[in-house]
Structure 1
Amino acid sequence: MSGISVEVRAGADVLGAGFFILSDIVATARHCLQDQLPEEPLSVKTEDGDVFAASVLSMVEEKDLALLQVSLPDTDVVSRASLPALPYLEAQWRSPYIPALDQVSIRGSIVHLHPQFACAYGGQLRASQLEARPSLDSYEGYSGSVIQLKTLTGPPVGMIIQEGHGAGSRETLFAADMREFVEAFDVLSDINVLDAELETHLSELGASVAREFGERFVVSGRAGGVLPGRIEAIVIQAIRRELNGQNDE
């Protein structure tokens, strides 16, 4: 599957980053579009180097969120979107976007979750406070970049909207929570945001149980037909059913 990250352009000028949140819709930071010249057509460039025409679909200025409608040819059937997830403390993240040839890819950890972060444009939103590496004098150019977890299959958990300012904030970035997009735009209302921390724990538990059962079956001579992966899937499904039952009570 092609990567979800894109470069947002107006004519030949690079405005910032974005990412596919649906197969034909790109999410980006609204402030990346503020310098767009009306006569310059928008486009997005994918990680594979493909360039597609785009247009502004919707914006929420005070939360610095925007969506672009991407014009894809009928022959383009590549799945670029990825199911978003909730951020969680101490999770390791990475960003696939690199603004220029002389810059680097960034990564780090989530150090704080802000339920009501004061956005630079006047709104309040859920945001992750990120510790970024490597340390740069400025992270200008990374706005609109998707941040993806290093666990599971790297689901997107946020979008970089601004960097920290003041003493002790040199390596600090802030990323809008994916739920903000889902709640702000009707076109995204059917997206379910994955609980990544829970899924990680379930996978670890399921794998542990699968290994234990697999070892027992091997010792007893009944290993034939028993697949650890199948046991892991059954365990995870059972736990999910139990959790859903508790939530319904």
Structure 2
Amino acid sequence: MNRVGYWVDLYQAEQRLGAGFLLTRRFVLTALHCLRGKADEETSVEVVLSDDRPVPGRVCRTAKDADLALIEIMSSHDVAIPIPAAHVARRGDRWRGPYRPDPGDAQLSGCVDDSSVRHVCEGGGSVEALQLTADQLLGDYSGYSGSPVEGTSPEGGPAVLGILLEQVMDRQSTEYRAANVLFAATVAEAMRRFDQFDVGHLIDVLRPPPVEHFPSPATQEPTVLPRLAERHSEAESLLISLQRWSESNLIDPTQAAQLRLDVVQRVIDAEFGPSRHDGRI
């Protein structure tokens, strides 16, 4: 791979399974068929980051009809890799695939033919997908499954548009050869499929423990301070994500504004104790 990025390789028992990418610092999204039938929920996998660092993970959710799987990185491992914003593609946009199965393989690029087509996966489910044309005529794109489709954000930086799932076979060929047409599930589809990306669930991650078990800042033990730092980091990441999702029309801007206030309140409650709203002092 030509630079440190948010895409990953997945291994099990030292066997490479396929590609995926960090949708957040905690969760890896991949195509279910990349796991080759070897993973049910709770199955352990090794996530090899693009800097060649391995971290342990487990399959926490699968959507078999949509050919999607979510892998959770163990909380004891900090993955401090910059992750691009999610964005909504438009017909005619240019796209690129930053992931390559091997260093000698081509890097994919092309054009978005359709930004929101209903595509029926081999698993039988209908997903919101991008229909893509690839510039590279490879004849077989299977090694790229599970990898991210990138576009450009309004700010000019990279943005994740979707996840590569399937290739279209060339009907004119007498050989088993793919045309240069690919389908990728949108990021919005993946977020709808997994409750880990439901805003209520994300806010619950920041929910403070009961006040009677949470000492005041003046009496906190040293071991509590790292948890506060981790909570602050999670809150900051969530606030940024909510802003990006709002700007990309993945969630309603009014809802996003209220959720940002909720996140801030959760952090304040966690550090100083729940606020009273019944008039008592």
Verify same fold: TM over 0.5. Answer: yes
Whether 1:174 and 2:177 are equivalent positions in the alignment is: no
Pick from 28, 31, 34 the counterpart of residue 32 of structure 1: 34
2:85 is paired with a residue whose SS is coil
Q: Which residue is equivalent to 1:70?
A: 73
Q: Residues 115-130 of structure 1: matches in 2 within 5 Å?
A: 115-130=117-132
Over residues 14-47 of structure 1, what are the superposed CA-to-partner deviations in whole Å (9 max), with x where a residue is unaligned?
A: 1111111111110000111134278x94111111
Taking structure 1 as reference, are residues 72 and 94 closer, same or farther at Cα in structure 2, changes over 3 Å only? farther
Q: Which amino acid in 1 is paired with 2:74? A: S
Q: Residues 58-137 of structure 1: matches in 2 within 5 Å?
A: 58-71=61-74, 73=76, 76=78, 78-137=80-139
Deviation at 1:195, TM superposition (A): 5.5
Measured on the aligned residues, the alpha-carbon RMSD in Å equals 2.7
Q: Structure 1 CA distance, aligned partners of 2:109 and 2:11?
A: 24
Q: Which residue is equivalent to 1:7?
A: 9
Q: Structure 1 CA distance, aligned partners of 2:143 and 2:189?
A: 22
Deviation at 1:72, TM superposition (A): 5.1
* Greater Cα shift, 145-154 or 177-186: 145-154
State whether residues 130 and 172 of structure 1, in contact with CA within 8 Å, keep that contact through their aligned partners in structure 2: yes
Q: Structure 2 CA distance, aligned partners of 1:146 and 1:116?
A: 19
State whether residues 117 and 131 of structure 2, in contact with CA within 8 Å, keep that contact through their aligned partners in structure 1: no
Taking structure 1 as reference, are residues 131 and 97 closer, same or farther at Cα in structure 2, changes over 3 Å only? same
Q: Which residue is equivalent to 1:47?
A: 50
Q: Compute the TM-score of the two structures, normalised by the length of structure 1.
A: 0.71
Q: Which residue is equivalent to 2:232?
A: none
Unaligned runs of 5+ in 2: 173-177, 200-240, 255-281
Taking structure 1 as reference, are residues 122 and 21 closer, same or farther at Cα in structure 2, changes over 3 Å only? same
Q: Structure 2 CA distance, aligned partners of 1:120 and 1:56?
A: 21
Q: Which amino acid in 1 is paired with 2:10? A: V
Pick from 159, 166, 184 the counterpart of residue 162 of structure 1: 166
Unaligned runs of 5+ in 1: 198-239, 242-249
Q: Compute the TM-score of the two structures, normalised by the length of structure 2.
A: 0.64
State whether residues 20 and 80 of structure 1, in contact with CA within 8 Å, keep that contact through their aligned partners in structure 2: no
Over residues 57-82 of structure 1, what are the superposed CA-to-partner deviations in whole Å (9 max), with x where a residue is unaligned?
A: 101100011100112545x3514433
Bigger RCO of structures 1 and 2 (CA < 8 A, at least 6 apart): 1
The number of residues matched between the two structures is 198
